[in-house]
Amino acid sequence: MNLHGLPSVEQLLQTKYAAELIASYGRPLTLQSIRSSLESARAVGIKARESKLPDRETLLSQAAALLQSWTAPTLLPVINASGVILHTNLGRAPLSTTAIQSMLAVAHGYSNLEFDLETGKRGSRLIHAESLLRQLTGAEAALVVNNNAAAVLLVLCALASKKRVIISRTQLVEIGGGFRIPDVMRQSGAKLVEVGTTNRVHLSDYKEALTEPTALVIHVHHSNFKITGFTEEPELSEIADLAHKSGVIFADDLGSGTLIATEKFGLAHEPTVQESIKAGADLVCFSGDKLLGGPQAGIIIGKANLMERIKKHSLARAVRADKLCLAALTATLRHYLKDEAVREIPIWRMISATTKQLKARAELWAASMGQGDVMASESTVGGGSLPGESLSTWVLSLDVNDPDSFLRKLRMLHPPIIARTENDCVLLDPRTVLPEQDETLIANLASVFRSYQLKNNA
């Protein structure tokens, strides 16, 4: 094959098609795609000498495909029909309409992030969420960082570097992504002191460990697992009281953290942030994007003197929250302050949805598609919250020839639909599908379903 028959880069750039690509993608990237297309054609030509050289249109089409691939977004909105409310892999908590509007407002232009409008001088980004958190929790002070892992690390670095930190062996947990409490302690420079056993820890274990100089006692919520059977752990207030008698700081890492009692929705009790403060915790750390229902954030609340030390630590700047996080978080916190969280925050609407409401939506899906069965099932909270707990729900069940292939087809849609399988059937749970997504879900689901044969018609 005579590779000299291929057009030059410049010849391709002079075409009308290339001009359209430049208008859409810019000249530098278009130039790179054309060169890649030509290099690919040369490589094929060298390997297969008898092959026909691609024409200009083919080369430019290949360049266009490259441009589309290179510039296509990889972070996409999806429809979560899995029934897992705080699905970590799907971005956890969807934000309230007000929180989204607050983010858009500060993203659209400038904001008073660190500007005091009254004095006209530099202000502090710390004030925007702090007053709300103080009102809601009763804490003296608060700080928002980029996630709860950073919150725990910052507390340890600021207050316990090169000093002893006591923790129960029942709480040496690992959560998603390989976040291990012992590793975080070592990273902070704190000296880990383990007490108790893997299933039982007594107050006397803490008391014995406190006979030596200690900076901090930390309590870590199990989050994503339960210890059952022959177990024992002291009450939070007992540990706090013992630590204070020894002149030691007591910190509680709640992990998920909630401001609302979960038992009134038929779930097990999840320790609330307010309970930790009331029990005597000097510091409490928790997430913003789990049961709080806000953006990814780590929140530290507690005693003013300790919080001041934490705020002044050099790591605090490295892990601080940005303006979009603060805008969404403060909007979310105001929902709690106005006693409208269950109505306005999506995850609480999902948790509080009744089986009657869910069954009606699943039946509407089935009727609109003219396919599928509506059956009772279970939803889960997820996100390392309330392990082993479930909520009764109703789902649309589809009996298809190849469930795994069907799920993949759903994931290739725009927007992708994430479902689950059970007993070789595909299940879609309305609890985690936002009501405004119903129409899109039904239309896209039906289009995929039509390409598959039901098992009983196979």
φ/ψ (deg, to 5) at 421: -115, 150
Read off the amino acid at residue 185: M
pLDDT for 114 equals 95
> Is CATH 3.90.1150.180 the right assignment for the domain spanning 79-86+348-457?
yes
The model's confidence at residue 222, banded by pLDDT at 50, 70 and 90, is confident
The string of pLDDT tens digits covering residues 34-77 is: 999 999 988 876 666 656 778 999 999 999 999 999 999 999 99
Best CA proximity match to 246, nearest among 284, 301, 201, 207: 207
Copy the structure tokens of residue 107.
Answer: 């993203």
Tell me 280's DSSP state: T
The model's confidence at residue 456, banded by pLDDT at 50, 70 and 90, is very low
Which residues of 313-372 form beta strands (DSSP E)?
Answer: none
Q: Is 221 exposed, middle or buried (0-12, 13-18, 19+ CB in 10 A)?
A: buried
pLDDT for 454 equals 47
pLDDT for 4 equals 67
The string of pLDDT tens digits covering residues 299-349 is: 999 999 999 999 999 999 999 999 999 999 999 999 999 999 999 999 999
pLDDT for 2 equals 59
Helix (H/G/I), strand (E/B), else coil: 151:
helix
Tell me 379's DSSP state: E
pLDDT(132) > 70: yes
192 Cβ contact list (under 8 Å, min separation 6): 165, 167, 182, 185, 186
Distance of alpha carbon 16 from alpha carbon 154, whole angstroms: 57
Given the DSSP bridges, would you call strands 179-180 and 283-287 parallel, antiparallel or unpaired?
Answer: unpaired
The DSSP H or E segment spanning 457 is none
Q: Is the peptide bond before 213 cis (omega within 30 degrees of 0)?
A: no
Copy the structure tokens of residue 306.
Answer: 């300790």
According to DSSP, the residues that pair with 320 across neighbouring strands are 145
Tokens 């910190």 locate to 251
Copy the structure tokens of residue 263.
Answer: 């038992």
pLDDT for 3 equals 64
Q: In what order do the strands lie in the sheet with 385-398?
A: 84-86, 373-382, 385-398, 425-428, 420-422
φ/ψ (deg, to 5) at 3: -70, -10
pLDDT for 449 equals 84
When mean pLDDT is compared across 87-101, 116-130, 378-392, the lowest value belongs to: 378-392
pLDDT for 455 equals 46
pLDDT(443) > 90: yes
Read off the amino acid at residue 108: H
Distance of alpha carbon 370 from alpha carbon 392, whole angstroms: 24
Best CA proximity match to 222, nearest among 233, 210, 214: 233
Q: In CATH, what class is 95-344?
A: alpha beta
Please compute the mean of the pLDDT values over residues 82-88 and round it to a whole number: 95
Residues of the chain with pLDDT > 90: what percent? 78
Q: Return the domain boundaries, the chain.
A: 3-71, 79-86+348-457, 95-344
The string of pLDDT tens digits covering residues 155-199 is: 999 999 999 999 998 887 776 666 677 778 778 888 999 998 888
Q: What is the DSSP string of 387-443?
A: EEEEEEEEEEEE-BS-HHHHHHHHHTSSS-EE-EEETTEEEE-GGGS-GGGHHHHHH
Residues of the chain with pLDDT > 70: what percent? 94
Cβ count within 10 A of residue 13: 17
Tell me 177's DSSP state: G
Helix (H/G/I), strand (E/B), else coil: 454:
strand
pLDDT for 48 equals 61
